[in-house]
């Protein structure tokens, strides 16, 4: 039965992805919507299972591995100053704005600080999926975004680890580092002559099976109906998530001497939160830092920022 549900998830997600692209959006947007349609919010046909979770983890690995294969380390080193400034400002602005805003709304100090950590992260895989669609992955702008996103996630993972320990949690899952490990492994394999053949195989496996499972599975457990009385709050948090990451990264890029158009594209490329924010949220749930209601608010905000990012990215990248 699980195999049939996975097959259904793959087929519907691939179709939604193509439809999303047909409407001028990213495939990622359509694939995320497929999870909402098939999951708890609407049809309730596909439920998360160990097999779906495992397949999604493989999808993350393959996507990050392929991104590593496509990434030029020499090109990234050329922009290390800009990437560092972008990453630092892209983390600093949400890390300050979210705790202050959440405290003003009425959340506890613990939840408020944790929100700052969650929304400091940037989704490498989702951003790179859009970069790949637009053939921008191998450009200097793509290299800058990639480097900054990697630094962002390293900072977020260190922050959530330290915060979890501070509030009394002593365990940290090694699987949380899977995206970064996979990316670094891809960069290592890139050095060998066989990398082209490996990239071809991994791309086909990912594009037609594992990537759709990963993106589609993100929203399977989301209950949209239960958040009806929190629409205003989620809208405010989503706007905060989008603007703090965009302007933080934009300011960092401008401080590095990057022009307005490219700095704007970089800011848009850093907006999406995706899998890394979801990893941090899961750590918060298992650590009892946040409850299910708050995690649902966070997840919806992550999905909104992930859906908005490709829409903003496309026109800005067309100007480069």
Task: Output the tens digit of pLDDT for each of the chain's 320 residues.
Answer: 677 888 889 999 999 988 877 876 667 778 878 988 888 878 888 887 888 888 888 887 887 787 777 766 676 677 788 889 999 999 999 999 999 999 998 898 889 999 998 898 887 766 776 677 667 766 777 888 888 887 887 787 778 777 766 765 544 555 556 766 787 888 888 888 787 788 888 888 888 888 888 888 877 877 766 666 778 888 999 999 999 999 999 999 999 989 898 899 889 888 887 667 777 787 777 677 887 778 778 888 887 887 788 778 878 877 76
pLDDT at position 100: 95
Instruction: Find the DSSP H helices in the chain.
Output: 2-22, 27-38, 50-70, 73-78, 80-105, 109-118, 124-133, 140-166, 178-189, 195-205, 211-217, 231-255, 260-269, 274-286, 292-318
Structure tokens at 94: 């949400």
Domain that holds residue 44: 2-318
CATH number at residue 214: 1.20.1530.20
User: Total structural domains in the chain?
Assistant: 1
What are 87's two structure tokens? 């990453």
Residues 6+ apart with CB under 8 A from 168: none
d(CA 169, CA 171): 6
pLDDT reported for residue 72: 67
Taking the whole predicted model, whether its pTM rises above 0.85 is answered as no
């Amino acid at each position: 039965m699980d195999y049939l549900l996975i097959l259904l998830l793959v087929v519907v997600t691939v179709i939604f992805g193509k439809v999303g692209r047909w409407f001028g959006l990213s495939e990622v947007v359509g694939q995320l919507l497929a999870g909402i349609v098939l999951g708890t919010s609407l049809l309730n046909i596909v439920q998360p299972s160990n097999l779906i979770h495992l397949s999604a983890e493989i999808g993350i690995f393959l996507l990050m591995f392929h991104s590593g294969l496509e990434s030029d380390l020499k090109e990234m080193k050329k922009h290390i100053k800009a990437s560092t400034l972008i990453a630092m400002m892209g983390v600093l602005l949400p890390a300050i704005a979210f705790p202050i805003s959440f405290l003003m709304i009425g959340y506890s100090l613990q939840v408020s600080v944790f929100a700052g950590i969650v929304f400091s992260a940037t989704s490498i895989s989702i951003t790179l999926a859009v970069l790949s669609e637009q053939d921008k992955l191998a450009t200097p702008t793509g290299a800058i975004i990639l480097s900054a996103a990697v630094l962002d996630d390293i900072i977020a993972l260190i922050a959530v680890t330290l915060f979890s320990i501070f509030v009394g949690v002593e365990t940290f899952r090694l699987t949380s580092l899977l995206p970064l490990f996979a990316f670094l492994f891809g960069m290592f394999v890139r050095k060998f002559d066989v990398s082209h053949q490996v990239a071809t195989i991994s791309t086909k496996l990912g594009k037609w099976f594992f990537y759709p499972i990963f993106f589609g599975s993100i929203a399977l457990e989301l209950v949209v109906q239960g958040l009806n009385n929190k629409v205003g709050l989620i809208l405010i948090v989503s706007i905060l998530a989008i603007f703090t990451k965009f302007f933080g990264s934009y300011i960092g890029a401008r401080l590095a001497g990057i022009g307005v158009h490219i700095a704007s594209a970089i800011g848009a490329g850093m907006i999406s939160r995706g899998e890394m924010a979801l990893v941090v949220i899961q750590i918060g749930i298992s650590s009892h830092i946040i409850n299910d209601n708050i995690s649902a608010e966070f997840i919806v905000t992550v999905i909104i920022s992930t859906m908005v990012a490709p829409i903003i990215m496309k026109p800005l990248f067309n100007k480069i």
